[in-house]
Structure 1
Amino acid sequence: MDFTLGEELEAVRDLARRILTDRTAHERLREVEASADRVDEALWRELARAGLLGVALPEDAGGAGLGVPALGVLLEEQGRHVAPVPLWPALVGALALASYGTDAQREDLLPALVDGSARITVALEEFGPQDPAEPRTAAVPDGGDRWRLTGVKAAVPSPAGAGHVLVSARREDGRTGLFLVESSASGASWERTETTSRDMAGNLTLDGAPAREVPGEGAAAGTVDLARIALAAVQVGVADGALGLSASYLREREQFGRPLGSFQAVLHQLADCYIEIEAMRVCVWQAISSVGADGRADSSAVLVAKWWAGEGGLNVVHRAQHLHGGIGVDVDYPVHRFFLWGKQISGTLGGASSDLARLGDRIADGRAVEGSVAS
């Protein structure tokens, strides 16, 4: 399959790369990491002015209508520059509303999400070894299209500045639904928590919090799959950025009168990183290409991409830090940032082992169905 970018996606990539390169100098990243919310609001506004927040969203909402492929391109560039803006949760939430929301929800929220004047985030994880597809947070009807949610969502990414949260919760009929909650709603309380990547996340406790359902068929499962694709795309960029930084360092650093990058053992590790990154990228684009007109993706392809992102991405950032030798443990040197991002992404929505277990279950279920049909 040909995953070559077309002209429109190349334009998205080039514009994002130019803006992010200018705005993610090491000194600027340190400044943002020392701030209260860990979000570069100036960069967010610039991305909005450039139209990049809406590249994946439909044209009737003011977006460019380029869909999930544009999301993948933009997020890979973010990862390559470890840019501290909440792109993946905000854009996943916006795309979920575009795909599964009611006309009223789309009309009320999407234009502001496109122009950057409002943000949304997603609450898909809970404490403990809980499958994101099977939340313990409970949703009970409250008359009409109103619901009440009770439960705890863990490490909600970048809630600062987000006016709404998309929450996965279990309905009384046993089905998992997706619900729109105002961040400041009564019955919703936040506990700030710092993640491995230095993002300031929040644990969200819901105690009968009012909510509206996002009613599209398969909204919760589709949003989890979209989040997995988004995380895998960011991880490709993180790994590629770590490799680029390592290659530059090894070209300049000398030992025994030769650049470190000329030693065979070092070249082998760089080659292993390159192979892992290319495998990750192919799997991400296979998952992206599986997304249909209804916004749903092939869950098996998505799990493969997420597994490679967790396994391969973590391998690359480990090697990149190792290749920097002693300076690799200096948190004032940029390579540590790629390691922290890679580590955080590898465990979000479940680590590589849990992704592999879910993929194995899907394959086994498919064979069981084929066997019952054949018999």
Structure 2
Amino acid sequence: MDFTFTEEQQAAAEAARGVFAGVAPDGVPSPALTRGAAVADDFDRALWARLADADLLSLLLDAEYGGAGLDAVALCLVLRESAKVLARVPLLESCAAAAAVQAYGGREWRAGLLSAAGRGEVVLTVAAHGRTGHDPAELAVTARRDGDAWILDGVQTAVPWAHTADYTLVPAHVPADYPVAPVPVDHTAEPAPVPAHLSTPAGADRTVLALIPRGHASVVFAEQVSTTGERLAELRLESARVAARDVIDADGAWEWLRLLLTTGTCALALGLGENVLRMTSEYTGEREQFGFPVATFQAVAVQAADRYIDLRAMEVTLWQAAWRIASGTRGALPASGDVAVAKIWAAEGVRRIVQTAQHLHGGFGADVDYPLHRYHAWAKHLELSLGPAAAHEEALGDLLAAHPLG
């Protein structure tokens, strides 16, 4: 297999570097880390507009919606660049949600939403963390059909950008004994048909995706603040009535979206880790002790080398996962196996990288006028979003047991 990036993917990454070149890598400081700082009320609208002008918000959309028709690899390349400067924009959530609507939504939604999302005029987000952040998101909300609508009840926590996004895509659980809704789903857009590893077995519970507009009468937002200092929201759906046309009831839709969101988070971890290691290299190359740069000390060099190995492992597992999602290639294991491996390395790797960086920076790393503390906060947020490596190792073990390689 050839993991060389295509010209189009490289062009997307180059465009992203141009857009993010002038962005200061300190964002809006967290109130827990900087005295007197306020939580950001909104994302960086000016940066969002520049991303739209560079056609980076429509990467995954087809040409008929003004997009480039690229894939998960291209999106991850752009996300990698955004994390290097801690870009305060809903790039992952909005692009992934739009891609899910394109792949699985009805024609009416695709025609009315996707072009505007690609131009940055409509912002989407996804409720992907469940009730507590530790349970499956698709089980936190239940859905039942009521005539020409669905009724949703439940809670989703830590929803990013929910206060300012125009729509939130909410997964909801439909029990196995609940009849399949007789609503035709238009699958004229790619990807179709659903890959075997994403399809729901007959007689199993299923998940629908509801597009909830901001300001819905039966949705209550509770204020939350992330480790990064950004606003999150706890969404409480209290018998929220959603029209059937606003619900994606398609086999494999949530699983595909979940894998894309997770892989995109791994790309953010990679970009953050790369910049932190670069900052550490520059600092230890300039900081002197006993008349020599501390980078020449064996103990320092060994720690930096170990973190470089982490980065390379994070990178190769990320591109493997992104390639599997983009190509739909079937193998001995479903794509979720590759994503689990990428999550293991991203969650563990980004934590080790920022911890080593703090150690090698000494007291300077704790100076809130220096951006390293911001990278540490973002890394912790990404690590918590990805979940503990041990849980992914257990999931990978279950996959291996169910799909023997020999």
Pairwise same-fold verdict (TM > 0.5): yes
- Residues 247, 261 of structure 1: 8 Å contact kept: yes
Matches within 5 A, 1:39-54: 39-54=43-58
- Flag the structure with higher helix content: 1
Matches within 5 A, 1:24-173: 24-26=24-26, 29=28, 34=38, 36-128=40-132, 130-132=134-136, 134-144=138-148, 146-173=149-176
User: 1:217-245: per-residue Cα shift (whole Å, max 9, x none)?
Assistant: 21111111111111001110010011011
Structure 1 residues 208 and 310: alpha-carbon distance in aligned structure 2, compared to 1, 3 A threshold: same
TM-score normalized by the length of structure 2: 0.85
1:262 paired residue number: 296
- Greater mean deviation of Cα atoms: 32-41 or 148-157: 32-41
The secondary structure found in structure 2 opposite 1:22 is: coil
Matches within 5 A, 1:206-217: 206-211=237-242, 212-217=246-251
- Letter of the aligned partner of 1:366 in structure 2? H
Structure 1 residues 272 and 293: alpha-carbon distance in aligned structure 2, compared to 1, 3 A threshold: closer
- Letter of the aligned partner of 2:249 in structure 1? P
- Residues 99, 295 of structure 1: 8 Å contact kept: no
- Letter of the aligned partner of 2:62 in structure 1? P
The secondary structure found in structure 2 opposite 1:203 is: strand
2:213 paired residue number: 182
User: 1:197-220: per-residue Cα shift (whole Å, max 9, x none)?
Assistant: 222111100001123321332111
1:280 paired residue number: 314
- Letter of the aligned partner of 1:229 in structure 2? T
Structure 1 residues 241 and 114: alpha-carbon distance in aligned structure 2, compared to 1, 3 A threshold: same
Structure 1 residues 41 and 332: alpha-carbon distance in aligned structure 2, compared to 1, 3 A threshold: same
Q: Distance in 1 between matches of 2:314 and 2:169?
A: 28
- Greater mean deviation of Cα atoms: 109-118 or 1-10: 1-10
- Residues 58, 67 of structure 1: 8 Å contact kept: no
Per-residue deviation at 1:265?
0.9
User: 1:47-81: per-residue Cα shift (whole Å, max 9, x none)?
Assistant: 11111111222222111111211111000001111
The total of aligned residue pairs comes to 367
Q: Distance in 1 between matches of 2:133 and 2:234?
A: 16
The secondary structure found in structure 2 opposite 1:162 is: coil
User: 1:165-222: per-residue Cα shift (whole Å, max 9, x none)?
Assistant: 1111111333222221112112101012110122211110000112332133211111
1:240 paired residue number: 274
Structure 1 residues 134 and 291: alpha-carbon distance in aligned structure 2, compared to 1, 3 A threshold: same
The secondary structure found in structure 1 opposite 2:80 is: helix
Unaligned runs of 5+ in 2: 32-36, 177-204
2:348 paired residue number: 311
- Residues 39, 231 of structure 2: 8 Å contact kept: no
Per-residue deviation at 1:285?
0.4
1:336 paired residue number: 373
- Greater mean deviation of Cα atoms: 211-220 or 87-96: 211-220
1:16 paired residue number: 16
The secondary structure found in structure 2 opposite 1:359 is: helix
Structure 1 residues 203 and 119: alpha-carbon distance in aligned structure 2, compared to 1, 3 A threshold: same
2:185 paired residue number: none
Structure 1 residues 275 and 72: alpha-carbon distance in aligned structure 2, compared to 1, 3 A threshold: same
Structure 1 residues 195 and 29: alpha-carbon distance in aligned structure 2, compared to 1, 3 A threshold: closer
Identity over aligned residues, as a percent?
38
- Letter of the aligned partner of 1:77 in structure 2? E
- Greater mean deviation of Cα atoms: 199-208 or 327-336: 327-336
Per-residue deviation at 1:99?
1.5
